[in-house]
Amino acid sequence: MSCRWSWSGPVGLAAAANLAERGLRPVVLESGARAGAAVRRWHHVRLFSAWPELVDPAGVRLPEPTGWRRPGDRFPTGAEWAREYLEPLADALGDRVRFRARVVGVARRGHDRTVDSGRDTEPLTVHVLHDDGTEERVTARAVVDASGTWGDPNPLGGDGLPAVGEPSPTASRTCWTPSSPLGTRASASPSRAAATRR
């Protein structure tokens, strides 16, 4: 039960690299087929940060023994970030990264929502749903939720709540990033470039 759990975007992989460097055995659960699945959805957008600001020090040290080197000081696209950093880092973590595994719940072992006593000392139970339909319950000492917000758009209301008449924040909207007329030469923040549509 010495595992920690996270997800395989930039934050989840950096957390896993830091834990691995400290001698712990993290397990990274990614619902997508490969590392950085959400980043790949806006693959054509050029990031507003250069490489030195996009890599974690432990995330650099872990893949270096394989011959990987941090790219130069340019501003990568989402596709370049995923291909040139997230994939090599996930590869360096090896079998500690599990793909097509979606976390559908986290709870304290042996405690339902009405039991409070002892909650702070019990490990966590992570409920995982795999693409093939199988389910798994895993015990963990800690969980890092680095799932991000890409697949969970904000509601349309201005105060963080659904707008009047909006059935639910995700019922009739999808996240997308429009292709730039300049192709991958576009310079836009992923958060500014992301849009919603009906």
17-32: pLDDT as tens digits:
999 999 998 999 998 9
Helix (H/G/I), strand (E/B), else coil: 98:
strand
Q: What's 101's domain CATH number?
A: 3.50.50.60
164: in domain: no
101: in domain: yes
Domain span including residue 136: 3-143
CA distance 187 to 80: 14
Residue 85: phi and psi, rounded to 5, are -135, -55
56: in domain: yes
pLDDT tens readout for residues 39-68: 988 889 999 999 999 999 999 999 999 999
